[in-house]
Amino acid sequence: MLKFCSFFLIFSFTTFLSLPPTLPSGFSTDLIHHNSPLSPFYKPFKTPAQYLRDAAFASISCVNQLQKLEEEGDEKDNIVSTVVTSEVAIDKKLLSLTQETPPHTKKSPAVPAFVRLWSLVLLAYGDQSTSSGDIATDTFTFNCNAGEVVSFPRYVFGCGHRNVGKYPKRGAGLIGLGAGPESLISQLGDKISRRFSYCLFPFDSVNSTSKFKFGDDAILTGHKVVSTPLVLKSFQSVPTFYELNLEGIRVGNKTVLTKQTEAGIIIDSGTTLTILKSSFYHNVAAAVKEAIGADPEPNPPEPFTLCWNPNSSYGFTLPEMVFQFTDADLVIKNYGIFAPYEGLVCMLIEENPTISIFGSMVQVDMQVEYNIQEGKVSFAPANCSN
């Protein structure tokens, strides 16, 4: 039975002690854009250009920190959680927050229950945001229509008491979709067949909602579906990121091929811009400038590198761009590559010396399925605003 639940990119959750007799083979939740009026983080005074600028700066900051971690080699301890065990007494009225609490007996009704908690120090985010506090186990529950719920017991989560960095002030928490053992996807594991999908909509459709799908609901079918092998990229022997093999990018009628050292690209829904390794980026940028045929702005607004004036006397047409992954050619919508900004049209691809990231804007209006069990990512064109 298909279930539709309420869910935010930055989510809140409710815990219940009662579980359904069986778990569904798949379920779907609402996916609400952070900048949507439906989101508690909505800021009506911010313009689309301001949202784009902030997201672009955040993308560059994140990839720069990721580059720093990668260059540190064996000194990557600061992206791994440090956990110290301790026992913490919990008042009886808070027992609904755990499935791990031993039962009270009639002989000791006033004795406080003990729940296993741990002191947590976490420096796990690419932008160097940090969180310290406690972690514990609980039942993770999605609230669904008609009073139905989908619950997963003994889910490990963190409660941050000291949070430093770019954390939303009104958020109840963050979910992890990566390959690390603490992520939502890894913990649900076989219960969702290690499969999930999402559909991201454009900046100008933030009033819409789409679906985040788990298990059988996430399966893509049809002749327009293309699939490419998925590789887990590790830091300090811990699988953290999902990586694809990019063989080249076709810009109009010209194909720019990657070298072996340029082929690995992280796929990330949390990074807005697409990032290419510098040597490959310069070849792609040259092909884009050649296809457009007009000179770019000599002093583009930060943080963008390539922008054009659509009102110039030359005029220009934006080229079609196709990302050529192993076994999958992916046609990218123009609005996933170029965006209006301060009266210009700017390219949403930037460079980094060592890191490549397939960002969220190039994934707009696609259903994207991660099948970790079979080691592949699949794409299908979609209208994610409906």
Model confidence pLDDT, tens digit, residues 270-304: 899 999 999 999 999 999 999 999 999 999 999 99
Q: What is the mean pLDDT of residues 105-121?
A: 38
| pLDDT number for residue 154 | 83
Q: Which domain holds residue 143?
A: 4-381
The single residue listed with the structure tokens 């939740």 is 29
Token reading at 68: 């720093």
CATH code: domain of residue 353 = 2.40.70.10
Query: Taking Cα atoms as reference points, which of 159, 163, 143 lies closest to residue 151?
Result: 143
| pLDDT number for residue 125 | 55
- pLDDT tens-place string over residues 94-105: 222 222 333 333
Query: Do 369 and 198 touch, CB atoms closer than 8 A?
Result: no
| pLDDT number for residue 81 | 44
The whole-chain average pLDDT of the chain stands at: 77
The alpha-helical segments, DSSP class H, found in the chain are 48-71, 184-188, 278-292, 334-337
Q: Check residues 321 and 136 and name the one with the higher pLDDT.
A: 321
The rounded distance, in Å, linking the Cα atoms of 135 and 235 is 22
Query: Taking Cα atoms as reference points, which of 123, 118, 122, 121 lies closest to residue 134?
Result: 118
Q: Residue 345: helix, strand or coil by DSSP?
A: strand
Token reading at 263: 């082929």
Number of domain units in the chain: 1
| pLDDT number for residue 262 | 82
- Residue 386 belongs to some domain of the structure: no
- pLDDT tens-place string over residues 118-127: 444 444 455 5
Give the whole-number percent of the chain exceeding pLDDT 90.
40
- Residue 219 belongs to some domain of the structure: yes
Global pTM exceeds 0.85: no
Choice among 165-169, 255-259, 336-340, 380-384 with the minimum mean pLDDT: 165-169
- Residue 24 belongs to some domain of the structure: yes
Q: Residue 75: helix, strand or coil by DSSP?
A: helix
- Residue 194 belongs to some domain of the structure: yes
**If pLDDT is split at 50, 70 and 90, which confidence band does 117 have?**
very low
| pLDDT number for residue 176 | 79
Q: What is the mean pLDDT of residues 15-29?
A: 54
